[in-house]
Chains A and B, each alone.
Chain A
Amino acid sequence: MYSLTLIQASWIDYVVIALYFAFVLGIGIVASRGVSDSVDFFLSGRSLPAWVTGLAFISANLGAVEIMGMSANGAQYGLPSVHYFWIGAIPAMLFLGVVMMPFYYGSKVRSVPEFMLRRFGPAAHLVNAISFAIAQLLIAGINLYLLGAIVHALLGWPLWVALIVAALIVLSYITLGGLKAAIYNEVLQFFVIVAALAPLTIIGLHRVGGWGGLKDKITAAAAQGHGSPAAQQLHSWPGNDLTGFSSSFLSVIGIVFGLGFVLAFGYWTTNFVEVQRAMASQSITAARTTPIIGAFPKIFIPFITILPGMIAAVLITEVAKVKAGGSVPGGSSGDGVTFNDALIYMMRDLLPNGLLGIAITGLLASFMAGMAANISAFNTVLSYDLWEHYIQRDREDSYYLRIGRIATVAATVIAVFTASLASNFSNIMNYLQTLFGFFNAPLFATFILGMFWKRMTAAAGAIGLVAGTLSAVVVAFLSQDAFGSWSTGTLNLSGQGASFVAAGAAFVVDIVLSVIVSLVTKPKPDEELVGLVYSETPRSSLVDADAADYPWYRRPVPLAGVALVIVIVLNVIF
């Protein structure tokens, strides 16, 4: 009989876990003393220093889905998985900081959809705000479900108990302290996650005999047909295995344009979960530096997520068997070991009690922070974008603060239900997540065109957005497996390659249609575009007055340059 708990936690590990939760709730309580109006609650009073918002910026994305997903990619594909970081996230984060943030922060909008409203009017705004709000609820539910499943697998608690306890903890610290509590917890969580993953990586690397030993073992395993050829697993380019394209040239194009330019830029520059963190900072320079400071730790995250995955594939018997094409019963889901379990098995085999407790805490923390980020972005969009504009206008500030708190409670309850749904229909959840991913690519196209082309009209904004999203959905249906058995297989695309092409199609269709529609409809008058479009905005309102006097390490552009150089060097080495 397969044992209920995968890991032998001792009382020491429970002490470590309990200590963390005491700190988390403490932050919520202390932060609640500082909340006096809705800007405090939703944007934490625009008062945080850039290093805090910068770490929160990447932490909000460093949910456990990301950590376990990336180590799974590492175990399955090897080094090409780094493209999600070095081609995807980093350039997009730098672009957000250097080019787009001044418009977000300078126009004093309180959310990304609100920028949409000011630039393109209600139609585009509603599409954006509603799809975003629903997506956040869904993703919060998925995070919560995975958290429950992990607690169940690691500690043996029943799933529903784990769900409710986790939901209550997240709920209490967000309703008490608002965004500030969420951000402070994200920063704390960042350090706990690093403290969890770094020992795992170092001990793991030591066991396999260092980087050289790891390469030898992967080469030996690949020679027996485990996974793709060693050359592909040990070099990030051209990444055929990742994209599913047999042509190396197309694979490189797919990664650079599809993953890098469209998917990653779409995600990082328009996703309010991320941008909200930067909007909470104290000045325009701090807001611009937020994603750029975040980029530095982000550059090195593959070393503690993808690398342990690669190690697990040669060091952990269960994971190696899966890679060899076998199936192993058990795993965290109970339905068999998958690559997603790589990290958990690493924890089981490498970490003594004590370090083990920190690793469990890191995983729990990252699930909860992911969920908290979704919920705090959801309550802002619901209160400011939907409620204030379409349901109850012009009420006093305390009214919207109350709506925000009610929305938080409602979102948590809905997330618990979504989570129990996810446990029954996991495939459908996956496809829905794929679907919501498609909202980002056309958003980026619409934003970037709207920020730099004043002729672009309101109708073009709405039509481009809808048509772009639909074209991505069509490509996904025509591919072989993006929507599982619902996909028709008309196009010979599978795996990540299908998402890259779908996103690329969405981007191109959005741009082309937006241009055509703009040329036949009437643009907004110039004076309404101040602060929203580059050519109509005075340069002085895009930077702080004294920004030029800051030392280089506090100025966004030089910092971004340094990060870019590091990424290029890493791409050349690996």
Chain B
Amino acid sequence: MAEKKTAGAFDIRNVIGALLGLYGVILLLTAAFHGSAPEGTNNDDNWWGGIALLVVGVVFLAWAKLRPIVVKENR
């Protein structure tokens, strides 16, 4: 079997990208809609955290998309 296939979902970059991206979205939603935060903490910090995570997540997904790993079929 000489045919090439890409690692797809198994590529760790997709996993990292998906998790960090989702975290980014969750933080942004929290920043926008969550009213309270524990005493002394600032809910607005979630904006920064959310944006940063979303950007990193998208970078990983893009890297995996642009430079896919080609898996050699088993000997």
Contact = CB atoms under 8 A, between A and B. Distances in A.
B58 interface: no
A352 interface: yes
Interface string B1-22: 0000000011010011011101
A198 to B, nearest CB: 8
B38 A348 contact: yes
A52 interface: yes
A16 B23 contact: yes
Given A52-B12, A355-B49, A195 B26 contact: no
Interface in A345-365: 348-358
A7 B26 CA distance: 20
B45 to A, nearest CB: 6
Interface stretch (A186-194, A235-243, A462-470, A514-522): A186-194
Interface in A183-208: 184, 187-188, 191-192, 195, 199, 203
A351 B12 CA distance: 28
Contacts of B64: none
A15 interface: yes
Contacts of A30: 9-10
B73 to A, nearest CB: 12
Nearest to B42: A352
B19 A354 contact: no
A53 B2 CA distance: 27
Interface residues of B, number: 32
B19 A27 contact: no
Given A20-B19, A192-B19, A199-B45, A354 B12 contact: no
B31 interface: yes
B33 to A, nearest CB: 10
Interface residues of A, number: 36
B38 A353 contact: yes
A23 B38 contact: no
B12 A355 contact: no
A12 interface: yes
Contact of B16 (A7, A8, A191, A203): A191
A357 B53 CA distance: 14
Task: Say what secondary structure dominates the interface of chain A.
Answer: helix
A354 B49 contact: yes
A349 B18 CA distance: 29
A19 interface: yes
A512 to B, nearest CB: 46
B15 A195 contact: no
A9 to B, nearest CB: 9
B52 to A, nearest CB: 8
Contact of A353 (B23, B30, B44): B30
Contact of A15 (B26, B36, B43, B74): B26
Contacts of A26: 15
Contacts, number: 91
Contacts of B23: 16, 19, 195, 358
B62 interface: no
Nearest to B30: A354
A12 B45 contact: no
Contact of B34 (A7, A12, A52, A191): A12
Contact of A27 (B15, B20, B49, B50): B15
Contacts of B10: 30-31, 34
A19 B34 CA distance: 19
B70 interface: no
B19 A352 contact: no
A353 B44 CA distance: 11
A352 B53 CA distance: 16
A64 B38 CA distance: 24
A351 B53 contact: no
B37 to A, nearest CB: 4
Given A188-B16, A199-B45, A203-B45, A353 B53 contact: no
B37 A352 contact: yes
Nearest to A11: B34
Contacts of B18: 23
Contacts of A351: 38, 41, 45
A187 B19 CA distance: 12
Contact of A188 (B15, B38, B45, B49): B15
A31 B38 CA distance: 39
Contact of A12 (B22, B30, B41): B30
A524 to B, nearest CB: 35
Contacts of B15: 23, 26-27, 184, 188
Given A184-B15, A188-B16, A192-B19, A356 B38 contact: yes
Contacts of A7: 38
B27 interface: yes
Contacts of B26: 12, 15-16, 19, 354, 357
A191 B20 contact: yes
Interface in A4-40: 7-8, 10, 12, 15-16, 19-20, 23, 26-27, 30-31, 34, 36
A20 B26 CA distance: 13
Contacts of B44: 352
A353 B38 CA distance: 7
Given A191-B19, A350-B41, 20 more contacts: A15-B26, A19-B19, A19-B23, A23-B19, A26-B15, A30-B10, A187-B12, A187-B16, A191-B16, A195-B20, A195-B53, A348-B38, A352-B42, A352-B44, A352-B45, A353-B34, A354-B50, A356-B41, A357-B26, A358-B23
Interface of A: 7-8, 10, 12, 15-16, 19-20, 23, 26-27, 30-31, 34, 36, 49, 52, 184, 187-188, 191-192, 195, 199, 203, 348-358
12 contacts: A12-B26, A19-B22, A34-B10, A52-B12, A187-B16, A191-B16, A191-B20, A203-B45, A349-B40, A349-B41, A354-B30, A357-B26
